[in-house]
Amino acid sequence: MALNLLFPTEIKNISFLASSKPSNQHLLKLQGGFALKRKDYGSTFRKRIHCSAQQPPPAWHGRAVVEPDCKTWDGPKPISVVGSTGSIGTQISSELWHWLAGSNVTLLAGQVRTFKPQLVAVRNESLVGELKEALADVEDKPEIIPGEQGVIEVARHPDAVTVVTGIVGCAGLKPTVAAIEAGKDIALANKETLIAGGPFVLPLAHKHKVKILPADSEHSAIFQCIQGLPEGALRRIILTASGGAFRDLPVDKLKDVKVSDALKHPNWNMGKKITVDSATLFNKGLEVIEAHYLFGAEYDDIEIVIHPQSIIHSMVETQDSSVLAQLGWPDMRLPILYTLSWPDRIYCSEITWPCLDLCKLGSLTFKTPDNVKYPSMDLAYAAGRSGGTMTGVLSAANEKAVEMFIDEKISYLDIFKVVELTCDKHQAELVTSPSLEEIIHYDLWARKYTAGLKISSSLSPVPV
C-alpha cells in the first residue's frame, strides 16, 4: 500500500504551520486555530477550532522545589512497575516490590526470582498457568492477578510509594489514573499519560497532590535543570534531538528510503517504533507537547535543536538569558534512577557509569532542524496548540502509521501524510476538556481511521 504524496521539496507546503517554532506573524489568523493550508487539494482548507481557555495545570510550574515534609529513604524504596518486561522496566535496578508484565513470561519469572515482589499481574490471562509453572520451585510466591484488574491492583498497591508507568500507549492510562487516585507518585515512562491524557490526568494529579516525575532523558534533563529555580525564572526550553537516521541525508532522497534505512540510528540501540520516530522527528514533536504539559512552557517557548552527539540531553534558558544544561553519556538508566530517587542523589561508581570526559569527547555541535525534512514538527506544534483530544490523536495516528511503514504497507513519506489527514479529520470532533473515556475513544478512533486510509485518484487518500 502506498499513498500518493507530494514531492519531498513540497512537504513544507502541506504542514499545519510554517515552522516548528513560528512567530505570531507566521501563524494563520485563527482563534486558537488548528488549520491546514494544502496545495492542489482543489481549494485551500481552513477550519477554526475554539479551544477552551481553561488549560490543565502543569505538573511543574517551571521550577522544582522539595517540600519540607518530603520523605527520604535509607533502605529500599517500595515501587510498583507497570510494564516490567518493557524497555523501561528491564532497566530499573533498584529493589522493586510489585510487578506488571504483558506476555514475556520467561523474563518476568526471572524478575520475580531476583526481586521477590509481593504482587504480579499478567495482562495476558492465558499465560498465568505458564508463569505459575515457571515459579513452581520458588518458596515465597507472589500473588498473581490476571488481566486489566491485575494491572490496576499493581498500580494502586497500598505499600507502593512510586509507580513506574512503562506500558506503551493508552493501555497505560487506566493504571496510571488508579495510581494517582491512590496517592502514588508517578515515574512517567509512558508518553501517552500526558500527550493524550494531559487534560484529564494533570487536574487529577493536582487534586490528589501527586508528583509526576519524568523518566525519559530529555524531560529528566529539564527537570534536573529547574531544581531550585525561583518562581517565574524559566524563559525557554531547548529540547535536543539526535536527528535520527536521516539527519545527513538530502531531502530529495527521502522518497527512496526503506525500513532498514530508518532503523539505522547513529547513536542509540532502541526498538523499531522509537527508532523510526527518531528518523521522522515525531519523537521530538511529541516531547514538545509533553514538555508543555510537564513544565507549563508555552509552545512558542519550546525549541528543538539537532545535537548529533546526544551528550546534552536538554537545556533551559532563564529570564536573565543563562542557559542550564544536563550532560551525560547516552544511557537511559540515569534518568530512571534520578526519577526514582528524587529528591536524593544516589552514588554510582565509575564502573556503573563512566565519568563524562569532555576533553576526550572533543566537541559538541548543534544545528537548526529542517522543517522540510521533518514536517512532524509542524504537525506536533499545531496539535499542541489545538490541545484537548488532538494531541492524543496525533500520537495514535503516528504510532499506527509507523506500524504500517514497518510492515511495508506505506512508504516513509506517507507517515507524515496519514498523520496529517487523521488530525485534519478529527478537527470536527475535537474535545477540548475530555474525559478519560473520550481520550481512549479517540485514541482507538485515530488508529482505525489511519489504518483505513487507501489510495484514491486524487492527491489525498480516503478512508476505506
| pLDDT (mean) for 324-353 | 88
**Which residue ranges form the domains of the chain, and what is each CATH number?**
79-214 (3.40.50.720)
Confidence of residue 22 (pLDDT cuts 50, 70, 90): very low
- Which residue would you say has higher pLDDT here, 178 or 93? 178
CB 149 within 8 A of CB 171: no
β strands within 50-113, DSSP E:
79-82, 98-101
Contacts of 228 (CB under 8 A, 6+ apart): 63, 64, 65
Is the pTM of the predicted complex or chain greater than 0.75?
yes
CA–CA dist 143, 119 (Å, integer): 5
Taking only the tens place, the pLDDT of each residue in 23-42 is 333 332 223 334 443 333 23
What single DSSP character describes residue 10? G
| pLDDT (mean) for 368-377 | 96
Does the structure show a pLDDT above 60 at 79?
Answer: yes
Contacts of 249 (CB under 8 A, 6+ apart): 257
Q: How many CB atoms lie within 10 A of CB 144?
A: 16
Give the pLDDT confidence score for residue 419 in this predicted structure.
Answer: 97
Q: What is the CA radius of gyration of the chain?
A: 22
Does the structure show a pLDDT above 90 at 20?
Answer: no
- The DSSP annotation for 362-393 comes to -----BPPPTTT-THHHHHHHHHHH-TTHHHH
Give the pLDDT confidence score for residue 150 in this predicted structure.
Answer: 85
CA–CA dist 219, 295 (Å, integer): 9
CA–CA dist 182, 175 (Å, integer): 10
Taking only the tens place, the pLDDT of each residue in 127-158 is 888 888 888 888 888 888 888 888 888 889 89
Closest CA to 395 of 445, 459, 460: 445
Strand partners, 214: 188
The dihedral built from the CA positions of residue 195, 196, 199 and 203, taken in this order, carries a sign that is: negative
Q: All 3 cell numbers of residue 89? A: 522496566
Burial class of residue 370 (count of CB atoms within 10 Å of its CB; 0-12, 13-18, 19+): middle
- Phi, psi dihedral angles at 369 (to 5 degrees): -70, 145
Give the pLDDT confidence score for residue 353 in this predicted structure.
Answer: 82
The SS3 assignment for 14 reads helix
Look at the block and give the residue holding cell 504497507: 409
Taking only the tens place, the pLDDT of each residue in 185-240 is 999 988 889 999 999 999 999 999 999 999 999 999 999 999 999 999 999 999 99
CA–CA dist 200, 436 (Å, integer): 6
Q: All 3 cell numbers of residue 170? A: 493508552
Give the pLDDT confidence score for residue 84 in this predicted structure.
Answer: 53
In one-letter notation, the amino acid at residue 86 is: G
Average pLDDT along the chain: 82
Give the pLDDT confidence score for residue 102 in this predicted structure.
Answer: 59
Does the structure show a pLDDT above 90 at 165?
Answer: no
The SS3 assignment for 325 reads strand
Share of the chain above pLDDT 70, in %: 81
In one-letter notation, the amino acid at residue 341 is: S
Does the structure show a pLDDT above 50 at 257?
Answer: yes
Does the structure show a pLDDT above 80 at 369?
Answer: yes
Does the structure show a pLDDT above 60 at 357?
Answer: yes
